[in-house]
Copies of this chain bind each other. A is one copy, B any other.
């Protein structure tokens, strides 16, 4: 059933940069396109915004449909609408980025049998459309934001060791951090709850596990603080 307007309208889409954390890499989730344009190329998961859903809802729906992911941390990134970014017609896309715990979710093949796979962010394949630029933008944003908001916990399992937490920051920020200073700083913030548990099945001394304490964090935000690493 056709829909008619007085002036031509751009198509509106969402695209999601989904970050996941590996033992030693930051990864991004890509899907392989089945159709033209860019058939066979890898691309960010995404799709059209329906007229009866918000943009956030569209992003979550597409993520669910194309990758099986739900209940992830999701944040709007930027809206790009350069002419010619889609060879077919004028398409404006609202880009999002998402953070997921790699272990939690088994990535499913997409609904229409397209491939989905994780790639290291520093060595991605050539992407469709202007998705390289969007990925780069998302990475910059993550690196910036992780320094003053505790986003990173979304990438870790609920219980984690301080070493794992430190590794996460080192991977995202792409620079080594001092172990003692890191612990001093992160513990002094008082947003970690020390658990009576340690790592299991490790071939060395087991590390104590911690949990992110959202309640203390909210308190901290109210009072004003500095999360810099």
**Which A residues are closer than 8 A to B by beta carbons?**
1-12, 48-55, 76, 78-83, 90, 92, 94
A2:B3 contact, CB within 8 angstroms: no
Q: Is the interface of A mostly helix, strand, loop or mixed?
A: loop
When C-beta atoms are compared, the residue in chain B nearest to A94 turns out to be: B79
Docked complex Cα distance between A50 and B49 (Å): 19
Bound Cα distance A81, B10 (Å): 15
Q: Give 8 new A-B contacts, CB below 8 A, not counting A2-B5, A10-B12.
A: A2-B6, A3-B4, A3-B5, A4-B4, A52-B83, A54-B81, A55-B92, A79-B79
B2/A90 in contact, CB under 8 A: no
Number of copies: 2
A51 and B7 form a contact (CB under 8 A): yes
CA distance A4 to B2 in the complex (A): 6
Kindly state the separation between the CA atoms of A53 and B92 in the bound complex, as whole angstroms: 11
| Bound CA–CA A81/B50 (angstroms) | 11
Q: Which residue of B lies closest to A2 (CB)?
A: B4
Residues of B within 8 A of A54 (CB): 81-83
A49 touches B81 (CB 8 A): yes
Smallest CB–CB gap between A83 and chain B, Å?
Answer: 6
B12 x A92 contact (CB < 8 A)? yes
Give min CB distance, A78 to chain B, whole Å: 7
Given A2-B5, A4-B3, A4-B4: A10 in contact with B83 (beta carbons within 8 A): no
Question: Are A9 and B3 interface neighbours, CB within 8 A?
Answer: yes
List 20 interface pairs A-B (beta carbons < 8 Å), by A numbering.
A2-B4, A2-B5, A3-B5, A3-B6, A3-B8, A4-B4, A7-B50, A9-B9, A9-B10, A9-B11, A9-B12, A9-B51, A10-B49, A12-B92, A49-B81, A51-B90, A52-B90, A54-B82, A76-B78, A76-B79
